[in-house]
């Protein structure tokens, strides 16, 4: 790479990722660190960033650094107030400058988005939505971003009209790692029919959730329910429960799914079972595309 | 107390409780230990029991010890196979003798109950059900036993006809102690209207569960939702979700609630909101009553 033009940063609660972007727009990375927001005090952010990308910074010049994610929360590097929907996903002009000691970096943090009724927030996903709109200009429809806290957003005329967060991924992690079910679930295998059956069961009988969970344990004790089926079934129950409530988002709407790996596959399969064909985009790519769009806006303004 | 007649033991996954019962039927205790099944290998059970009650045992005589709970699981002291519903709750004749080194004790473990469709199991609660039937002879109706894994059981003509387990208590513990919501919830305070409102919301819209959870976090961030309201609301969402699925149990049926403390209060309030007046019995009392009933049966057989 000839020259460092700017640095793209996705700074979440548990991880930090950074890309070195050159003058031609080529991004190298991401470089990864486990120094997420949750383990850092405000004064720790600059050193953590420099540890990750400092050696790539040229001397005698200031490189723009654009950050999305929970680094912008009250407990993060600097609190950047939410933008309230309906509005366009925040761009470069909305980013807040944060003071640094090292003169080689000019750091700006993008705001998240909030919604009044029902109360909801996002930090980081607004940049992924901007990335989706960069990849699919003029897109009107729904964006689903599976994750620890899965987001469903409705986008129209370049604005986020409404969104809703589901703690589906966190529930899966808690139940599979810390509940009585942890001994019942395998680590890797996947039983596709068990998943589909559980999605349908949860959509049909959502209130049975806490009983369906215990039935995984009872099934293992009484019927030798295989761990692969139990794991797929837990995932299916959680995603099915979510799809039942998210129906107003996906029913009869175009849906872009921004995710990766097994989780995105599971959502794609579950939505397919409801007759929804998703347009899949890679989660990392849309994060980077959203940061690049924000950088482009700043460049136009001459910042 | 004149003489030790027998020892009643409730040996659960996380705790061990024992009562010293005299010839007149007076029970002293419970003595408590945190040496639950989960932290013990099979050879650890006898020493743990003797640590708790050994000094109360007379020399030169064998004292019957009757045990209920997860001590009877595969991972426990000795596996005692489940009795399958429909059947009467297991009694003294169903208890399995376990070999001990100390000649002063004669230990018998009561079996749990299982159900084939839907697959379900209980260990310990069958003894509470026997205790309810001892306290309310001839009772026909429903028994709700709130706990880590809340049980709903239908009892008719002295038999458990069917039952269903909900992981409600475990979900509350995981979410309040280990999820992102832990900072949003207070430890002690209680907002009664928030609880009732959440019960109603979960009954009306069970599928929204994972979104309603995140809304507690968003409400704290955006609307200064008080921690006392968030905690009551989490409890209400979980119990409401359960009541929605347990409706076939409580609708138009007499309901005995065997519980204690704030959890039993919460169930009583939630059921009251649905027009169900419960007959409340103390959880510890019905455990002891169930063990005493089993002991009485053994005595009649001359054991």
* pLDDT above 90 for B15: yes
**Which chain A residues are closer than 8 Å to B120 by Cβ?**
214-215, 218
Distance from CA of B278 to the nearest CA of A (A): 22
Q: Is B171 near chain A, with CB under 8 Å? A: yes
Share of chain B above pLDDT 70, in %: 99
* pLDDT above 70 for A290: yes
Please report the domains of chain A, with CATH numbers, ordered by start residue: 4-123 (3.30.420.300), 166-283 (3.30.420.310)
Contact B210 A166 (CB under 8 A): yes
Instruction: Using alpha carbons, select from A116, A127, A115 the residue that is nearest to residue A70.
Output: A127
pLDDT of residue A205: 98
Interface predicted TM-score of the whole assembly (ipTM), two decimals: 0.94
pLDDT of residue A2: 55
Contact A245 B174 (CB under 8 A): no
Distance from CA of A101 to the nearest CA of B (A): 30
- Whether the CB-CB separation of A85 and A117 falls below 8 Å is answered with no
Instruction: Using alpha carbons, select from B90, B140, B95 the residue that is nearest to residue B113.
Output: B90
**Which chain B residues are closer than 8 Å to A238 by Cβ?**
210
Contact A214 B167 (CB under 8 A): yes
Distance from CA of A287 to the nearest CA of B (A): 22
Secondary structure string (H, E, C) spanning chain A: CCCEEEEEEEECCCCEEEEEEECCCCEEEEEEECCCHHHCCHHHHHHHHHHHHHHHCCCCCCEEEEEECHHHCCCCCCCCCCEECCECCCCHHHCEEECCCCCCEEEEECCCEEECCCCEEECCHHHHHHHHHHHCCCCCEEEEECCCCEEEEEEECCEEEEEEEECHHHHHHHHHHHCHHHHCCCCCCCCHHHHHHHHHHHHHCHHHHHHHHHHHHHHHHHHCCCHHHHHHHHHHHHHHHHHHHHHHHHCCCCEEEEECHHHHHHHHHHHHHCCCCEEEEEHHHHHHHHHHHHHHHHHHCCC
Contact B222 A175 (CB under 8 A): no
Distance from CA of B84 to the nearest CA of A (A): 11
Contact A164 B211 (CB under 8 A): yes
Instruction: Annotate A215-235 with b (16+ C-beta within 10 A) or e (fewer).
Output: bbbbbbbbeebbbbbbbbbbb
| Euclidean distance between CA atoms A292 and A21, whole angstroms | 9
> Looking at chain B, which residue has its C-alpha nearest residue A149?
B214
- Whether the CB-CB separation of B111 and B85 falls below 8 Å is answered with no
* pLDDT above 80 for A187: no
Share of chain A above pLDDT 70, in %: 99
* pLDDT above 70 for B1: no
* pLDDT above 70 for A295: yes
B222-275 per-position pLDDT tens digit:
999 999 999 999 999 999 999 999 999 999 999 999 999 999 999 999 999 999
**Which chain A residues are closer than 8 Å to B237 by Cβ?**
none
Instruction: Using alpha carbons, select from A134, A120, A41 the residue that is nearest to residue A82.
Output: A120
- Mutate which: A172, A214, A222, A225, vs B, most B CBs within 10 A: A214
Q: What is the mean pLDDT of chain B?
A: 96
Binned at pLDDT 50, 70 and 90, residue A3 comes out as confident
- Mutate which: A209, A247, A251, vs B, most B CBs within 10 A: A209
**Which chain B residues are closer than 8 Å to A114 by Cβ?**
218, 221-222
Contact B116 A222 (CB under 8 A): yes
B20-52 per-position pLDDT tens digit:
999 898 999 999 999 999 999 999 999 999 999
**Which chain B residues are closer than 8 Å to A180 by Cβ?**
149, 167, 170
* Mean local confidence (pLDDT), B47-70: 96
**Which chain A residues are closer than 8 Å to B225 by Cβ?**
119
pLDDT of residue B189: 82
Contact B121 A203 (CB under 8 A): no
pLDDT of residue B292: 97
Binned at pLDDT 50, 70 and 90, residue B2 comes out as low
Distance from CA of A38 to the nearest CA of B (A): 11
A261-284 per-position pLDDT tens digit:
999 999 999 999 999 999 999 999
Share of chain A above pLDDT 90, in %: 94
pLDDT of residue A303: 58
B96-148 per-position pLDDT tens digit:
999 999 999 999 999 999 999 999 999 999 999 999 999 999 999 999 999 99
Q: Is B209 near chain A, with CB under 8 Å? A: yes
Residue B205, number of CB atoms within 10 A of its CB: 18
Instruction: Using alpha carbons, select from B175, B135, B172 the residue that is nearest to residue B155.
Output: B135
Q: Is A204 near chain B, with CB under 8 Å? A: no
* Mean local confidence (pLDDT), A156-182: 97
* pLDDT above 80 for A188: no
A58-112 per-position pLDDT tens digit:
999 999 999 999 999 999 999 999 999 999 999 999 999 999 999 999 999 999 9
B83-101 per-position pLDDT tens digit:
999 999 999 999 999 999 9
**Which chain B residues are closer than 8 Å to A164 by Cβ?**
211
Q: Is B213 near chain A, with CB under 8 Å? A: yes
* pLDDT above 60 for B14: yes
């Amino acid at each position: 790479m000839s020259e460092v033009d700017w640095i793209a940063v996705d700074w979440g609660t548990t991880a930090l990722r950074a890309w070195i972007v050159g003058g031609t727009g080529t991004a190298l990375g991401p470089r990864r660190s486990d120094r997420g927001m949750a383990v850092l005090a405000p004064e720790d952010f600059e050193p953590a960033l420099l540890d990750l990308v400092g050696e790539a910074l040229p001397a005698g010049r200031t490189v723009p650094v654009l950050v999305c994610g929970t680094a912008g929360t009250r407990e993060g590097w600097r609190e950047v107030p939410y933008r309230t929907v309906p509005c366009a996903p925040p761009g470069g002009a909305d980013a807040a400058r944060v003071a640094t000691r090292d003169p080689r970096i000019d750091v700006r943090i993008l705001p998240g988005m909030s919604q009044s009724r029902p109360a909801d927030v996002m930090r980081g996903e607004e940049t992924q939505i901007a990335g989706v709109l960069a990849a699919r200009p003029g897109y009107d429809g729904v964006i689903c971003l599976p994750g620890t806290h899965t987001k469903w957003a409705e986008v129209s005329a370049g604005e986020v009209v409404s969104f809703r967060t589901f703690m589906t991924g966190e529930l899966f992690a808690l139940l599979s790692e810390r509940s009585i079910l942890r001994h019942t679930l395998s680590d890797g295998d996947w039983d596709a029919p068990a998943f589909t059956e559980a999605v349908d069961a949860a959509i049909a009988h959502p209130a049975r959730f806490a009983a369906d969970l215990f039935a995984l344990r009872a099934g293992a004790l009484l019927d030798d329910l295989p761990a692969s089926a139990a794991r797929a079934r837990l995932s299916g129950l959680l995603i099915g429960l979510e799809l039942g409530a998210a129906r107003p988002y996906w029913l009869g709407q175009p849906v872009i799914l921004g995710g990766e790996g097994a989780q995105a596959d599971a959502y794609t399969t579950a939505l397919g079972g409801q007759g929804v064909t998703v347009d899949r985009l890679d989660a990392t790519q849309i994060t980077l595309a959203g940061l690049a769009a924000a950088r482009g806006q700043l460049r136009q303004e001459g910042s």
